[in-house]
Amino acid sequence: MIQPMTRNLALSLIVFLLPVLAAAQTADVILSRDSAAAPKWALAIHGGAGTIPKNLPEEQKQQYLKSLTRALEIGRDVLKGGGTSLDAVEKVVRFLEDDPLFNAGKGAVYTHEGTHELDAAIMDGRDLSCGSVAGLKTVKHPVTLARLVKEKSPHVFLVGEGAEAFATQMKVERVKNDWFDTPFRYQQLQEALKEEREKKDKDTVGAVALDTHGNLAAATSTGGLTNKRFGRLGDVPVIGAGTYANNRTAALSGTGIGEEFIKHTVTHDISALVEYGGLTLQQAADRVIHQKLKPGDGGVIGVGRDGSIALVFNSEGMYRGAADSGGRFEVKIWE
């Protein structure tokens, strides 16, 4: 038996809640209208940031633009077809790893000893699951091994010999270390050796994406710095430095002086400014790249949970591209 007082309380609760529920419904309608206008998928890619001379020979410039265009098309097709952001970023980065123009996979720079050591990472913004590999010598597509670390191992970061052993277990494609040799990178090593310094050769690759299911993912791959020594690792495989994705904020991939990106935990910092600081992705990326890093340190690409795209760099140029379901499709090198 319901007591009159309880009944009165229930009645006044209903009276109070009705307008609240109605308002919530209207808000829902407005929300879904907004999200209908927002891009259903979005993609950004980079092929490295640095001192890219504006007088780059036309033929070379066209080669870069052509490769970036193809990479963007590959990612676009995955996302447009309803594929996952994780598949899109892996596929784009694999393509760029195969292109000797870029400092990842086939075009990886040389270490001081005249060999190649490759690093990569991938991260799923849905559950923060991630995989990193570093110091690889024989893995043709480091980004794919990074994904296998994420999906087939209980760990998130494998390096050197252990990572190679894991590659054997996973049966990924292998090559001899000198397969990564290219005359252009060899020349860069000779110059760096002459100047006795590590050299930042600007062509690390990365991709970030939002898929039609609302999930974000990021992937980055690199040969590191020319003339690097002592097992040097950069920011690329360090989650939160060169690579980060979180469905609550954004997917981000950096390129530049890895040591600076690690010190400033660049990609996580941008994500945190969005999550806790209330900044937009663009504002957060601008803040970190232009106010925390020094001019010339590098840049970052990001895709926000709303499909917004940020391409920010403090170097002379950044090989980059952006596409979304709203019809945007562009590749650029300088401003």
Name which position in 99, 164, 211, 235 contacts ligand ASP (CB under 6 A). Answer: 235
Euclidean distance between CA atoms 255 and 46, whole angstroms: 8
Shortest approach of ligand ASP to residue 204 CB, angstroms? 3
Say how far apart CA 238 and CA 9 lie, in whole Å. Answer: 56
- Asked if 131 is part of the footprint of ligand ASP (rule: CB under 6 A), the reply reads no
Size of the site for ligand ASP (CB under 6 A): 16
Site string for ligand ASP, 265-304 (x = CB under 6 A): ---------------------------------x------
Q: What minimum distance in Å lies between the beta carbon of 34 and ligand ASP? A: 36
Restricted to residues 34-53, the positions that interact with ligand ASP (CB under 6 A) are: 48
Q: Which listed range, 120-128, 144-152, 219-227, 317-325, lies at the site for ligand ASP (CB under 6 A)?
A: 219-227
Give me the active site residues, please. Answer: 204
Selected from 111, 132, 188, 222, the binder of ligand ASP by CB under 6 A is 222
Write out the binding residues for ligand ASP, residues 176-215 only, by CB under 6 A: 202-204
Contacts of 255 (CB under 8 A, 6+ apart): 46, 48, 49, 50, 202, 204, 206, 220, 222, 242, 298, 299, 300, 318
- The verdict on 105 binding ligand ASP (CB under 6 A) reads no
Tell me which stretch binds ligand ASP (CB under 6 A): 136-144, 163-171, 218-226, 325-333: 218-226
DSSP alpha helix (H) spans, 110-223 = 142-152, 160-170, 183-195
Six-digit token string for 198:
């590590």
Q: Are residues 322 and 309 in contact, defined by beta-carbon separation less than 8 angstroms?
A: yes
CA-closest candidate to residue 224, choices 95, 90, 110, 106: 110
Q: Which of 96, 236, 293, 322 binds ligand ASP (CB under 6 A)?
A: 236
Cβ count near 212 (within 10 Å): 16
Q: What whole-number distance in Å separates Cα of residue 87 and Cα of residue 92?
A: 9
Applying CB under 6 A, the span of 8-16, 120-128, 254-262, 323-331 interacting with ligand ASP comes to 254-262
Q: How far apart are CA 47 and CA 203, in angstroms?
A: 5
Residue 142 binds ligand ASP, judged by CB under 6 A: no
Other CB atoms within a 10 A radius of the CB of residue 186 amount to 14
Asked whether position 234 contacts ligand ASP by CB under 6 A, the answer is yes
Position among 224, 240, 302, 317 found at the interface with ligand ASP (CB under 6 A): 224
Cα torsion at 143, 52, 67, 308 (round to 10°)? 70
Burial (0-12, 13-18, 19+ Cβ within 10 Å), 69 = middle
Which residues sit at the interface with ligand ASP, rule CB under 6 A? 48, 103, 202-204, 222, 224-225, 234-236, 242, 255-256, 258, 298
